[in-house]
Amino acid sequence: MKTIVGIGTPVGFGGIGIVRLSGAQALAIVKKMFDKPLQPRHATLGNIHGDNFTDNAIVIYFPAPHSFTGEDVVEIQAHGGWHLVNRIMQTTIQYGAVPAEPGEFTRLAVMNNKMTLSQAESTLDLINAESDAELQNAARLMAGELQNLLSQVESDLVAARAQIDAYLDYPEDLESPDLPLNQINQAKHTIANLLSTAQHGQIIKNGINVCIIGCPNAGKSSLFNALVGDNRSIVTDIAGTTTDVITEKITYQGIKINLIDTAGIRDNAATAIEVQGIARAKSTLQNADILLVVVDATTRQMLDFPHNKKHLIIYNKCDLCPDTPADGIAASAKTGKNINLVLSTLIDMVTKTAPAGNTVNLTNERQANLLRQAQTLLNEINPQEPLDKISANITLALSYIGKITGTDVDKRTLDEIFSKFCLGK
C-alpha cells in the first residue's frame, strides 16, 4: 500500500505550514527527517531537515487505526513559508511517499469507515463556509444527523423488502403477506421532511441573491454602498451612472446576502452602453431571490417590476421627504436610517419560510437529486401491483440513498466528489 503526502495549509505565507502523511511508511519516512523520537499522539518539538534546509517543527504521530484516515498518519507543523513547506513535502517523496490526489485523505477515511460519505461531503461545506449559518449546518451534517436519518430510511426499506422477498421466495410456506406499508410510509415521510429543507439549504449554502432595481437616480448605488458598508459602487448626480452589474457579499444575522447593484431602468437610455446596462439589469432581476425596489421618496417614481417575485420596496432619501407610503421601508442611504431594518427584513423574508423545527438542512444538490429520485420510486408503489415490482422499486430507491450514505456508490461518483477537495484534505 502506498503512503501519501499532501500540504494541508493554503498556498502562501503564514505562521504555520502543515505537511501530512498517511500510510504504512509514514512514520519511517518522517524518522529519516526528524531528530527526535516520536510517541503516539504527542506533539514533539525538534528539527526537520533535508537537502539545503533545516527548520524547527512540531511533529505528531497518530498510529492506525486511531487516526483521521484509519492508517498511520504523521503531521509535520513547520513554519509557513511556501518554499519551505514544499521542500519538506518533496523530501518525503524522495523517501518513498506519493503525492496525494485531491481529497485522498478524506477518501481513505470513508473507505476505512472513519466517516460516512455524507459526512465527507459536509467537510467540504465546513471548509467553504462563508457564514455562521453554513458553519452551524455543516457541523450538524458532520456530526452525522443526515446520516442517521438516512440510515433509518435504509433500515425501514430493507426490512420491508425482506418481508416481501420472503413471500416471493417461499409462497407455498407463507400466507399472502400484508404489504409493509408502515415501514415504506415512514421512509417516505423522512425523505419528504429532508427534501422540504432543500430550498432553505440552498439559501444557507449560496446566500440570498438580492437584486437592487429602480429608476435612474433613485439612489440604488448609494443604498448598495450603505448596505455593503463601503463605497463599492460609483455614485453621481448623473442619471445612468451605473452601467454594469456589481455584486458584493455580506453576512447579516449569520446569513449570507449577495447584493447586486444594477443600472437604472428607463426607456430613453442616453448611450449604447446604458442600453446594455439596462438589458443586463432586466436579465439579472429574473434570477434574483428578492428584488429590492428602490424609489426616490421625493418623486415617488415607481419602476414597473414583476410583482410575482419576492420584493421589498425601499423609499430612499427619506431624510428629504419623511412622509412616505406604508407599502415599503423609508430609508436614507445618506444618513443610514433604517439600513439595518432593510437587512433584517430581507433575512425575515427567507427565514419565515424555513422548515419548522430543529432540523438539519439539506444543502447538497447532488444529495437532494438522489433523494428526489428515491422519493419518486416510493411514491409509485401501489399495493395492487405485483410484489416483485414493488420489491424492485424499493431496491432501486435504496441504491439512490446508498449513493448518499456510501453503501452503494461507484468509483466514478467518488472520483467526482473528492475531486472538489484540496490536495491535503
Q: Is the pLDDT of residue 413 over 60?
A: yes
Please state the pTM of the whole predicted model: 0.80
Banded pLDDT at 233 (limits 50, 70, 90): low
pLDDT for position 189: 95
Q: Is the pLDDT of residue 75 over 80?
A: yes
- Mean pLDDT, residues 234-248: 64
pLDDT tens digits along 180-213? 889 999 999 999 999 999 988 988 888 999 999 8
Q: Rounded to an integer, what is the distance from CA 272 to the centroid of its chain?
A: 39
Which H/E stretch holds residue 250?
A: strand 246-252
Beta bridge partners, 22, equal 4, 73
Least confident of 11-15, 66-70, 231-235, 291-295: 231-235
Q: Is the pLDDT of residue 259 over 70?
A: yes
Is CATH 1.20.120.430 the classification given to domain 119-197+360-418?
Answer: yes
Q: Is 168 exposed, middle or buried (0-12, 13-18, 19+ CB in 10 A)?
A: middle
- Mean pLDDT, residues 121-149: 89
Q: Rounded to an integer, what is the distance from CA 158 to the centroid of its chain?
A: 30
Cell numbers at 395, concatenated = 431496491
Q: Is 182 exposed, middle or buried (0-12, 13-18, 19+ CB in 10 A)?
A: exposed
User: In a 3-state reduction of DSSP, which class is residue 253?
Assistant: coil
Give the Cα separation of 253 and 132 in Å (integer).
8
* Residues listed for the chain: 425
Banded pLDDT at 244 (limits 50, 70, 90): low
Nearest to 331 by CA among 214, 189, 195, 158: 214
Domain boundaries, the chain: 4-100, 119-197+360-418, 204-351
pLDDT for position 270: 63
The answer to whether 294 and 212 have CB atoms below 8 angstroms apart is yes
- Mean pLDDT, residues 138-160: 92
Instruction: Kindly give the pairing relationship between strand 53-62 and strand 43-50.
Output: antiparallel
Give the Cα separation of 385 and 164 in Å (integer).
12
Cell numbers at 259, concatenated = 447584493
pLDDT for position 130: 85
- Mean pLDDT, residues 368-390: 92
Mean per-residue pLDDT over the chain, rounded: 88
Tell me the CATH class for 4-100. alpha beta
Give the Cα separation of 278 and 97 in Å (integer).
56
Q: Is the pLDDT of residue 72 over 70?
A: yes
User: In a 3-state reduction of DSSP, which class is residue 78?
Assistant: strand
pLDDT for position 193: 92
Fold of 204-351: Rossmann fold (3.40.50)
- Please report where in the chains the cell 503531521 appears, as a residue: 75
